[in-house]
Amino acid sequence: MVVAAVMLTGLGLGLWVGGDGAGPAGTTARAPGTTSASPSDPAAAAAPTPTPTRSYPLSTTPQTIPAVRDHSPARGPGWRPERGQRVVVNDAGLADEGRLIAGELGLTYAGEKGDTKAGDLRLALSGAAGANQESYTMTVRGGRVSISAAGEAGVFYGTRTLKQTVRGEGTAPEGVVRDGPAKERRGLMLDIARKHFTADWIEDRVRELGDLKFNELGLHFSDDQGFRIESSSHPEIVSQQHLTKAEVRRIVQLAESRHITVVPEIDSPGHLGAVIAAHPDLQLRNAQGVAATGAVDISNPAAAKIVDELLDEYAGLFPGNQWHLGGDEYRALMASDPQASYPQLAAAARQEYGAGGTVADLATGWLNDRAATVRAHDRTPRAWNDGFYAGTSVQPDKDIQVAYWTGKEIGARLPVEYLRAGRQVINYNDEFLYYVLGQPQTFVYPTGERIYEQWTPRVLRGTQPVAARYDGQILGGSFAVWCDLANSQTQAQVAAGIRMPLRATVQKLWDEGEPELSWAEFRKLADQLD
């Protein structure tokens, strides 16, 4: 009964020095006033009384979207932001990241400091040679937080993890997070050509994307229905509702602060209806004189000239290193016999490439020429998969990445054909990642649940993944909003409709493995974090 009483006393008062039941010098901890010496021992009377310290359970993994890849738990109180605490950096290049998280958490941005204070949040560039610029380590220990990475993007993503953790749980748990993305391209593409979106709305999406660790925003701003960005070289093609260049610069600047690359797309040689409306002489016509909707005549040098002038102009507006050239759904190559239907194109192909030259060769040459235009501005080009034609004597340039969206179009080939050829591919799978306003044809609004449970970056077409050996060639993926029936939804409805699909998409791009949370748990977490 004496032993039981001692045990109960210990439970009531908690654990002592070290928090694991061990007292000084490895002795067993006892209740205050008891020692290993005899009560009559004078040394015992003079011995200091141990001071109780709190014991903590092992911490749990921070709950974030996307989920962190690795967390080493530890015992401790964690970290909670309090007014007066500092954000300090070890490099002036982290000032943007520091000021942003300080404002979000109500802290004081103190700039570059070498000292440490209680409650500090320290952001640091580690300088690790060859390390992934987007990976980071977040350490919560001793009442402080440190986030370190080889690149500024990694530090930023660490602050997003911290922000979400504090928002969802109140306290960042003790321990070390080691995290980084599986895929380097994680995007949202917006069709702002068919539907005008305001600059404020787009900026809201940029903030949302940044918090979710996306790193691309695609802007498809030229199509048959509109040309939506101010132009100085060809103002005659610009739609009444459009973004000014000043608005675009603000969007780009905000995106850069969130480590998001804005990827512009002027689709050609199809989808140029807005340009053709101002320049009808450029429109493609078949042998009977019937106009091909949205398509320019690629045998006419004036068509190439105007597109190149636009590409050159907007290279100065979009400083990112990526450029989307489109290349899809060229009407001439959707005909059953392109050579007979469009004899002027066939003649131009033979003149350019010899007697065996085809319309597909001419279209491939067009794509290569546009790639050369953006490459001169140090941009990496990409094009839709149905802009790469089989059986041509002219091959698309090797550095043109494949934006794989469908297997439904004429001439569309299986993803493995591009992968076997050594091409890099970005996943835009229309079975999972296409949000098409009004749900025309066979499209239905994608759900986050289906993406979360069935899609991975290797599912490029339909529902079946390509072989794992091609994983390294799949750079990532992009969710896409297309506005075929532009008035079917308001801006607010679009934002609400893509909310959970975006979260599911980035989870699978950040970590291709099976998510630990069920869909119901993931959805609940999203509600807690927003």
| 417, two tokens | 């054909």
- CA–CA separation, 65 vs 85, rounded Å? 26
- CA–CA separation, 483 vs 478, rounded Å? 16
Concatenating the DSSP letter of every residue in 355-371 gives TT--HHHHHHHHHHHHH
Residue with tokens 């398509």: 295
The distance from CA 341 to its chain's CA centroid, rounded to whole angstroms, is 42
- CA–CA separation, 308 vs 268, rounded Å? 10
| 420, two tokens | 């076997």
- CA–CA separation, 377 vs 372, rounded Å? 9
Residue 116 DSSP symbol: -
Q: Is residue 329 annotated as part of the catalytic site, yes or no?
A: yes
Question: What number of residues does the chain have?
Answer: 530
Q: At what angle do helices 519-529 and 152-169 cross, to 10 degrees?
A: 90
Q: At what angle do helices 199-211 and 152-169 cross, to 10 degrees?
A: 90
- CA–CA separation, 511 vs 348, rounded Å? 48
* Contact yes or no for 168/212 (Cβ under 8 A): no
Nearest-5° angle of CA 503, CA 248, CA 330? 75
Burial class (CB in 10 A: 0-12, 13-18, 19+), 450: middle
* Contact yes or no for 258/210 (Cβ under 8 A): yes
* Contact yes or no for 515/507 (Cβ under 8 A): yes
Report in angstroms the alpha-carbon separations of 7 from 3, 19, 44, 297, 399: 6, 16, 22, 90, 71
* Contact yes or no for 477/525 (Cβ under 8 A): no
Q: Residue 329 — left, alpha, or beta (φ > 0 → left; ψ -120 to 50 → alpha)?
A: left
Residue among 174, 265, 329, 431 flagged as catalytic:
329
Helix, strand, or coil (residue 237): helix
| 253, two tokens | 């600047």
Residue 92 DSSP symbol: G
* Contact yes or no for 33/481 (Cβ under 8 A): no
Residues acting as catalytic residues: 329
